[in-house]
Structure 1
């Protein structure tokens, strides 16, 4: 009984283009890489409060409401790995919250006092401040609420100007209106210029969607609306063209940087704005995105380092020049470690 072995022969394919040739070696992959990710691409959002101790945030493992001491330690650690932009978000005592949010422009309040402390320690630190009333508003809204439940646009814009000026006087480098009121960028620019803060930048939350991904952030600041929702001022998640309209208005009104929030579920919006404007673009990897990646990683379902860096790279690839991310320090540690 004979055994026959059939040997299959294959002539080489007649291909002029073989993209895999540019993937065959790490050095080649490095020089053809189209998108880069580095610590200078991150803004580190930090929660602060007036207490003496750091308070962990259950829905955001690894994050806390930071005391003054805790904040200084965290900023120092972030700077050590190349992150030199921070964004401050205050958890304000209930006793200080009012319907008009006037604590937002108290010159001795939590945010201005924190800005001064940070600038005294690190004059070159870039500080971004949130311009919105929800941490200070007893109604939990970004704007002033009328008796019938409407969010008052023009009255809110006047209050936001007071808030931004207070932050600028304390030393803020960038004010970031996250409120989504109409006309606030122009009003803020005029108010800042009127007090000779011509070098204070405006980072506009241009396309801020009424997203379900903000839950952990509202837990962190105890800033959820007491009634109603934010759909009359934040954008409908179904809309894309509307983001282009908002971007055009913010650019004309004097914004220096435009923002898309959230980042991950709205990469198409980020890419569309990248095609529509020459201004720098920011994107916010929000608390819900952070919490999902953390939870899956803690359960061993995902490799945390790989998925975090991949998610941030995807945001950069879609068009973001800078990313607000709670992973800023951690990601920078991974990236700088990889360079050694």
Structure 2
């Protein structure tokens, strides 16, 4: 099952479950993977930035990815970003042999010019191989690499195995419109556009032409709802469910503590056994946990799935 340019829906970014002592929690991986399959996700992404991928060694990364791939029938994208191409190439080969649908590649922060960005992706595509579908991760707020719509068009034109953009620019609505305009005028072949940023702008991203979401949130069912309702033309209903979740979504989007919030809520929901992150990591204070509990209680008035 290979990733294609017509992929649509929600591909949640899966966190990596850990025991409090830092060991990988296999039972929670299985429970989490089953959960994503039950809520209508179209696929999964493992070893993304919110999956604490840099905290895993090579063998652990392959083991986590392989376990998820074996457990689900959904297409699984694996993050293979690495400081060097040797590590990227070996991880990409291993996960594709395990049955991954494709890989996601983020640009290193050292890239500054358009030609450097385009050249990097050409080299990365050569390293992983022309038969491996890949996703561009466009996340300038964290990676400090700014990709214009024109640069993305060049990457897509130069690499036949580029099938998806993970769009995480902010503000980025006009970028989606520009890329879809390229498709309409025939200057760029169609690719899938799935959006990140915790789903914070998903309501309007869908209206601008995004195919879905490729991000985390403690209630990915809401993301599935928004994408489905938007595709059906049910604009008011899509915004209603999105607006109900917006206070918690906003709280989870805080830099530095967002993953702690997400894991805490997933633990409250019984999906993860622990909200532990592997060190180095920050946690939630007692006050922060109480604030999240307050937001869950308020959300539960509008969405029964939040009554944990």
TM tier, smaller: 0.5 to 0.7
Structure 1 residue aligned with 2:19: 52
Superposition pairs for residues 67-78 of structure 1, below 5 Å? 67-78=25-36
For the pair 1:252 / 2:252, whether they are aligned, the reply is no
Distance 1:157 1:92 in 2: 16
Assess if the C-alpha contact under 8 Å between 2:11 and 2:44 holds in 1.
yes
Q: How far 1:81 moved relative to its partner?
A: 2.0
TM-score after normalising by structure 2: 0.56
Structure 2 residue aligned with 1:168: 96
Q: How far 1:269 moved relative to its partner?
A: 0.9
Which of the residues 188, 194, 197 maps onto 1:283?
A: 194
Superposition pairs for residues 100-179 of structure 1, below 5 Å? 103=57, 106=58, 109-122=59-72, 124-133=73-82, 143=83, 156-179=84-107
Count of matched residue pairs: 207
CA displacement 1:147-182 (0-9 Å, x = unmatched): xxxxxxxxx344422332232233221101112564
Superposition pairs for residues 1-340 of structure 1, below 5 Å? 41-49=9-17, 51-52=18-19, 67-89=25-47, 90-91=51-52, 103=57, 106=58, 109-122=59-72, 124-133=73-82, 143=83, 156-180=84-108, 182=117, 183-193=119-129, 198=131, 200-205=132-137, 207-209=138-140, 211=141, 214=142, 230-231=143-144, 234-235=145-146, 242-263=148-169, 265-276=171-182, 277-287=188-198, 290=200, 311-327=201-217, 329-331=220-222, 334=225
Question: Which structure: larger Rg?
Answer: 1
Cα 1:161–1:88 change in 2 (3 A) is same
Cα 1:262–1:70 change in 2 (3 A) is same
CA displacement 1:284-321 (0-9 Å, x = unmatched): 3224x65xxxxxxxxxxxxxxxxxxxx42311221212
Cα 1:128–1:270 change in 2 (3 A) is same
Distance 2:169 2:194 in 1: 5
Cα 1:66–1:329 change in 2 (3 A) is farther
Cα 1:316–1:184 change in 2 (3 A) is same
Assess if the C-alpha contact under 8 Å between 1:45 and 1:324 holds in 2.
yes
Q: Give me the CA root mean square deviation.
A: 3.6
Assess if the C-alpha contact under 8 Å between 1:203 and 1:258 holds in 2.
yes
TM-score after normalising by structure 1: 0.51
Cα 1:40–1:281 change in 2 (3 A) is closer
Q: How far 1:260 moved relative to its partner?
A: 4.9
- Where in structure 1 are there 5+ consecutive unaligned residues? 1-38, 56-64, 97-102, 134-142, 144-155, 215-229, 291-310
Q: How far 1:267 moved relative to its partner?
A: 0.9
Distance 1:54 1:266 in 2: 39
User: Normalized per residue, which structure has more helix?
Assistant: 2
Distance 2:136 2:189 in 1: 15
Distance 2:45 2:32 in 1: 12
Structure 1 residue aligned with 2:293: none
